[in-house]
Structure 1
Amino acid sequence: MVDQQDFLVELGTEELPPTALKTLSNAFLAGIESGLKQSAIQYDSARAYASPRRLAVIVSGLSTQQPDRVFEKRGPATSAPEKAVQGFAGSCGVGLAELETMEVGKGTYYVYRGTEAGKQTQDLLPEIVAQSLNALPIPKRMRWGARRTEFVRPVHWLVMLMGETVIPCEILGLTSGNTTRGHRFHFNETIELTSAAEYEAKLLNPGKVIVDFDRRMQNIKEQVLAEAQKLNAKVVIDPALLEEVAALNEWPVALTGRFEERFLDVPSEALISSMKANQKYFHLVDTNNQLLPYFITLANIESKDPAQIISGNEKVIRPRLADAAFFFNQDKQHPLISRTEKLKTIVFQHDLGTVFEKTQRIEKLATAISERIGGNPAFAARAAQLSKCDLMTDMVFEFTELQGLMGYHYALHDGEPAEVASALNEQYMPRFSGDELPQTRTGIALALADRLDTLTGLFGINQPPTGSKDPFALRRQSLGILRIIIEHQLDLDLVELTNLAASHYGQLPSQADVAQRVVDFMLDRFKAWYDEQSISAEIYLSVHALRPTKPLDFDKRIQAVAAFTQLAEAKDLAAANKRVSNILSKQGISDAEVNESLLVEPAEQALYNQISEIESEITHLFATGAYTEAMQHLAKLNDPINQFFDDVMVMSDDEALRLNRLALLSKLRKLFLGVADISLL
């Protein structure tokens, strides 16, 4: 039985980029696991550890040796000259008697089968670790000092332990050992490790390092909640901020600070943005979710005088909040609409004109969409005129992530209708996957118009996304359009909207088929959409084959086919549809009338009668989009179809009978195509 031991690798570095730490840690683990699997080395489990100054992996129950490998080496044909056969045997280090023969195709060949002894795992680990580090997703590597070594940050120590034995090697210019280091301030000393099992415990005590990333995040979360509890307040824990703070601290200590209440006159989003982005603070709210004049910061040290750290943070945040207050008050001195002229100086895209010209196109498109969805066209036009004006404010210039949101606040201050103001913020919704959608009809119209204008324009100048580049986030914008239309149950046609958007550009270089290309691109985005809902690619393709261009209609068909696949008859009906499709495509049959007098077999008569009955039942279901109910009716055809294929010779020698039976199958096929092409299931 092969021995098993635990393996530890730790790379000590200068402080790693906090936003990338989790990604680097996961990639390091994945690289090592991949290397072990490629080398066929067995292990029980593997776990990643990461802190600002280290990346580590512990592999538990790692086999100390590769398994022996049985190999097969094929040589010349048995008809080859004896000298060639002897040469092959010599290259294998064996005599002719040890060669075997095997049949390959029409020939017989000599073959040598042997066993290669597995290597010691510790001899393979240095290369596995080095390859994993080289493959880390580091956009830009750096050098330091006189070294030629490159990594994301300077490296300082390397631990490589197999059981209690150091694996001797050199990686990134470092010689492996069994000593790690503790916290930079609390325990800036080396810590000797005798095994992987004691790694986490020794770093915790005496090292003052919580090396498990998830445990550190949980520790921070508990501390932050406890600090909020002291104030009877609620702390808002942004998962991304929590992860970033965990990547900044090895020994986190939560401390609560305060800022002046006068700053609460500024929109809370601006204050929160400043606290999160610049200082990595958690903000607190009351029971009504109103911002409170407090913040929670994380120190990477357990100070003997925490009041000094709190005071320092309060001094740092005050001028930042003062800047936000200044920008807000300055911006309010000029109404949003007065900034329209400045939009003429901002280029949206050099072939598609300025941002001002974009707002003019959006105004026309948003107005048309508003009319179609029962909105207020006048509101839509006004919202479009104001939609990009906040880009010219000092606040958005300083805090770009507040675009739209500041437009909302400034529009309210200017006395614009509440729905117009809301639309200025809603135009960017959804900002990311799973984000909330615009709720007002004006916001919906503006959000759709903005995205459709961008998509149509860029396809119109033949600049669609490529495999690696999507600078205008057209994939995300397309998914936003689909989500808005489907989740708000809007009866909108993408072809109509895209043609409308294209008409507002005048003449585009690639305008001939721009609507088709844009719509095809958007319909292709449905695949990823349904992947997330665990709907199979076959179901998506069965609907996509018909190319319904109304997203709501597309989705209804998908849900109907998904429900249909759960029926007992689904498999047989899908197979039957495939058979029918193949027959019709080979015979070149399209639409043809069925002649009832030529239906001579009971099975074909029964199928025709059942089709006619169901056709009358489901015509109105197709018209109203009740596809799930329609598919339930179609499932009744399973037995008649099976009986038809059992009893009836479709390709009869009698041409009239043959053509009539093909017409019957065409009628059947057309009925199913009212929902989807289930032959693709």
Structure 2
Amino acid sequence: MHTATLLVEIGTEELPPKALKSLSEAFGSALEQLLQEHNISAGAARLFASPRRLAVQIADVAAQQADQVVEKRGPSVDVAFDADGNPTKAAEGWARGNGITVADAERLKTDKGEWLLFKAEVKGQPLTKLLPDFVEKALAKLPIPKPMRWGASNVQFIRPVHTITMLHGDQLIPGRVLGVASSNHLLGHRFHCPQGATLTHADSYEKTLEEAWVVADFAKRRQRIVDGITAAAKAANGTIRKDEALLDEVTALVEWPVALTASFDKAFLNVPKEPLIVTMKDDQRYFPLEDADGNLLPKFVFVTNIESKDPEQIIGGNERVVRPRLADAQFFFDTDKKTSLADRVPALANVLFQKQLGSIKDKSDRIAQVAEGIAKLLGKDGSVAARAGYLCKADLVSQMVSEFPETQGVMGMHYARNDNEPTGVAEAIFEHYLPRFSGDQLPQSIAGCAVAIADKLDSLVGIFGIGQTPKGDRDPFALRRAAIGLLRIIVEKDLPLDLADLIDLSKQSFGALLTNDNVADEVLEFLLGRYRPMYQEQGVSVDVIQAVLARRPTRPVDFNQRVHAVAAFRNLPEAEALAAANKRVANILAKVEETIPNKIDSGLLNAGEEISLVKALEEAELRSTAALKQNDYTGALKALAALQKPVDAFFDNVMVNADDVAVRGNRQAILQRLRNLFLQIADISVLN
């Protein structure tokens, strides 16, 4: 069958830059799936996406559907014919629906009976007939939250559509999609090639657009931007901080990227660099330049969508645009410094945290109280943590943070330094927001850790305490993120804190505000539930996490040690047999109805294998106990691994449920002791 490259392009007005990649991927995936579902053979697909187009190029697409044999089973023979052998109405209706008579029907015989069968060969339809409908369906599946209409048409899409191109090899596939007729005309670069281009073959798509000043491949265009801004930064003796999201957005904004360097007045460098960076990146999509020490330079790199003969004009225009934005940041900073953070705290009473839990001022008071308590649990003076907790939200009512919310915390740190607050207080104000996202840095100071934990606990205990637990995807207070952040701080900073103690400390700070009597248990359960996604992200298998969760250790550092110990144990050659043995022991003990003796009676040991097992248990218990005193869970499990052979011999040769009640109880006591040894660390019976 004839095959050729298929090219489908939708030419539009400028598409939303932050949605471009997802739109492209969804379009390509949907089109590939439709070809597959309709038995049209196809090869590998390439996706193209630029501000004014979505395109899919698929290799080796068949010109026609494959022929198919369709089988439709009818009523059983018992139902299809009456006692005299005449067709029933059911059989005749089925046959008529398939365009045949009952006599024309074939028979299908199976072990369960015999049925009427209709078989027909369906000839495949040509791609030219099917493709326009496929493209319409693929576009209808795109994740478009707010489609728009244009002109007098009722057609809806994310942006107005100007061109549709459907080419199979060099054959134009006619049809209309979104009200636009297919043609081989492509939109060129809006300024360099406004007349557009003519596509003569699907294989020539990328080259044709390149000649029309469009780099259609998203990844290639992105790399060209990376190369351009890197070279520009080097020439300016600066570096650009890595920002994948900004790179993607800029790539989605231009079709012919050209990197240029501009500058701004050095006087703006008196403003902390964070708001300057935010306004350059978020408002203008610029790439700020820093020196080798991370200090902001009075320069930035930007990417333009045109190759100008006079780039200085473009550079000057961008410098004029950014100047008033930087001036705004300077004004906010100078104005904010006139009021201290401490003087701003009362204004937090006018900012609502949650109507049942009070204002941000109330939350700050609770954070200060709990942070001081946490610092004391860690053996530190709590005054720095308490002061940082009291001031940590004060920058929310500053002009700078009101204009640039992304700078909360960091501006609080700068304003605290301006107010001559202790260095530890200023640092903790910034650190209490950490970690802000997966993989983000953690607080470095004890005070910062204490305030960060207190803040996250306040949200968890408070929201659970009024019965508003996260459900499904609904988590308006980002409690899941807060919980994982809290656990990461404790584990990675190796803090000897117990979740139960922390929850109780936070609960006390609310006084009589909480209405949920089970808040402590529910918050603890929620925190324990965050271990699974947290450790899965690190590559730890689910059964290892479940084995430790079964013991419900409430100290995160302890949990972490157990997880890594069980993960190491799981790789030992003895692990599989011991896990199976523990599962068997758990099942046996679960069925025991009588009371199991607390101690093993050596006088009742008569089988050699049970004598050997008891001796091995005593030796393993000594070694594992010594390891556990050092919190060496890995060493303890390795000591218990020596039990594999005596345990296997015991089960192979000893009847646990002996007829003699005393012997049976003694053997159950042996198994209970074995089980308890492992349960000191984890329930390894759940290991796969």
> TM-score by structure 2 length?
0.94
Q: Following TM superposition, by how much is the alpha carbon of 1:116 offset from its aligned partner in structure 2, in angstroms? A: 4.9
Is 2:105 aligned against 1:100?
no
Is 2:196 aligned against 1:197?
no
Residue segments in structure 2 that go unaligned for 5+ positions in a row: 82-86
AA in 1 matched with 2:584:
R
* Separation in structure 2 between the aligned mates of residue 74 and residue 569 of structure 1, nearest angstrom: 55
- Structure 2 residue matching 1:452: 3-state secondary structure: helix
Could you say which residue in structure 1 is the equivalent of 2:338? 333
Q: Following TM superposition, by how much is the alpha carbon of 1:247 offset from its aligned partner in structure 2, in angstroms? A: 0.7
* Separation in structure 1 between the aligned mates of residue 251 and residue 22 of structure 2, nearest angstrom: 13
Is 2:620 aligned against 1:621?
no
AA in 2 matched with 1:255:
L
Alignment deviations for residues 15-49 of structure 1 (CA, whole Å, 9 cap, x no partner):
11111111211222222233334345443211211
Q: Pick from 368, 390, 393 the counterpart of residue 388 of structure 1.
A: 393
Alignment deviations for residues 376-414 of structure 1 (CA, whole Å, 9 cap, x no partner):
300001001111111111111111100000000110111
* Separation in structure 1 between the aligned mates of residue 158 and residue 220 of structure 2, nearest angstrom: 24
* Separation in structure 2 between the aligned mates of residue 391 and residue 183 of structure 1, nearest angstrom: 44
Alignment deviations for residues 481-515 of structure 1 (CA, whole Å, 9 cap, x no partner):
11111101112111221122112112345431111
Is 2:150 aligned against 1:144?
yes
Question: What are the residue-to-residue correspondences of 1:570-609 with 2, within 5 Å?
Answer: 570-588=575-593, 592-593=597-598, 594-609=600-615
Q: Following TM superposition, by how much is the alpha carbon of 1:108 offset from its aligned partner in structure 2, in angstroms? A: 5.5
Q: Following TM superposition, by how much is the alpha carbon of 1:439 offset from its aligned partner in structure 2, in angstroms? A: 0.4
Q: Following TM superposition, by how much is the alpha carbon of 1:115 offset from its aligned partner in structure 2, in angstroms? A: 5.6
Distance 1:170 1:239, change over 3 A: same
Distance 1:123 1:358, change over 3 A: same
Q: Following TM superposition, by how much is the alpha carbon of 1:91 offset from its aligned partner in structure 2, in angstroms? A: 4.9
Is 2:182 aligned against 1:176?
yes
Is 2:108 aligned against 1:126?
no
* Separation in structure 2 between the aligned mates of residue 383 and residue 285 of structure 1, nearest angstrom: 30
Is 2:574 aligned against 1:566?
no
AA in 1 matched with 2:14:
E
Question: What are the residue-to-residue correspondences of 1:401-420 with 2, within 5 Å?
Answer: 401-420=406-425
Question: What are the residue-to-residue correspondences of 1:446-465 with 2, within 5 Å?
Answer: 446-465=451-470
- Structure 2 residue matching 1:535: 3-state secondary structure: coil
Q: Following TM superposition, by how much is the alpha carbon of 1:358 offset from its aligned partner in structure 2, in angstroms? A: 0.4
* Separation in structure 2 between the aligned mates of residue 170 and residue 590 of structure 1, nearest angstrom: 80
Could you say which residue in structure 2 is the equivalent of 1:223? 228
Alignment deviations for residues 241-267 of structure 1 (CA, whole Å, 9 cap, x no partner):
111111111111111111111111110
Is 2:552 aligned against 1:544?
no
Please say if residues 19 and 244 of structure 1, whose CA atoms lie closer than 8 Å, have aligned partners that are also in contact. Answer: yes
Is 2:276 aligned against 1:271?
yes
* Separation in structure 2 between the aligned mates of residue 70 and residue 606 of structure 1, nearest angstrom: 69
Is 2:217 aligned against 1:212?
yes
AA in 2 matched with 1:381:
A
Please say if residues 485 and 551 of structure 1, whose CA atoms lie closer than 8 Å, have aligned partners that are also in contact. Answer: yes
- Structure 2 residue matching 1:184: 3-state secondary structure: coil
* Separation in structure 2 between the aligned mates of residue 432 and residue 494 of structure 1, nearest angstrom: 22
- Structure 1 residue matching 2:75: 3-state secondary structure: strand
- Structure 2 residue matching 1:235: 3-state secondary structure: coil
Q: Following TM superposition, by how much is the alpha carbon of 1:114 offset from its aligned partner in structure 2, in angstroms? A: 6.2
* Separation in structure 2 between the aligned mates of residue 474 and residue 403 of structure 1, nearest angstrom: 19
* Separation in structure 2 between the aligned mates of residue 21 and residue 97 of structure 1, nearest angstrom: 53
Range that drifts further, 320-329 or 525-534:
525-534
Q: Following TM superposition, by how much is the alpha carbon of 1:272 offset from its aligned partner in structure 2, in angstroms? A: 0.9
- Structure 1 residue matching 2:642: 3-state secondary structure: helix
Please say if residues 375 and 382 of structure 2, whose CA atoms lie closer than 8 Å, have aligned partners that are also in contact. Answer: yes
* Separation in structure 1 between the aligned mates of residue 60 and residue 683 of structure 2, nearest angstrom: 51
* Separation in structure 1 between the aligned mates of residue 39 and residue 607 of structure 2, nearest angstrom: 63
| Coordinate RMSD, CA, aligned | 2.0
* Separation in structure 2 between the aligned mates of residue 631 and residue 273 of structure 1, nearest angstrom: 51
Is 2:618 aligned against 1:612?
yes
Distance 1:3 1:536, change over 3 A: farther
Distance 1:81 1:142, change over 3 A: closer
Distance 1:630 1:119, change over 3 A: farther
Residue segments in structure 1 that go unaligned for 5+ positions in a row: none
Please say if residues 186 and 208 of structure 1, whose CA atoms lie closer than 8 Å, have aligned partners that are also in contact. Answer: yes
Could you say which residue in structure 2 is the equivalent of 1:15? 14
Q: Pick from 668, 680, 688 the counterpart of residue 674 of structure 1.
A: 680
Q: Pick from 546, 553, 562 the counterpart of residue 558 of structure 2.
A: 553
Could you say which residue in structure 1 is the equivalent of 2:45? 46
Could you say which residue in structure 1 is the equivalent of 2:84? none
Alignment deviations for residues 68-124 of structure 1 (CA, whole Å, 9 cap, x no partner):
5556544434433512484355655474672121123xx555555666554444444
Please say if residues 204 and 211 of structure 1, whose CA atoms lie closer than 8 Å, have aligned partners that are also in contact. Answer: yes
Could you say which residue in structure 2 is the equivalent of 1:29? 28
AA in 2 matched with 1:101:
K
Please say if residues 407 and 425 of structure 1, whose CA atoms lie closer than 8 Å, have aligned partners that are also in contact. Answer: yes
Could you say which residue in structure 2 is the equivalent of 1:345? 350
Please say if residues 589 and 663 of structure 1, whose CA atoms lie closer than 8 Å, have aligned partners that are also in contact. Answer: no
Question: What are the residue-to-residue correspondences of 1:417-496 with 2, within 5 Å?
Answer: 417-496=422-501
* Separation in structure 2 between the aligned mates of residue 592 and residue 36 of structure 1, nearest angstrom: 69
Would you say how many aligned residue pairs link Structure 1 and Structure 2? 677
Please say if residues 543 and 554 of structure 1, whose CA atoms lie closer than 8 Å, have aligned partners that are also in contact. Answer: yes
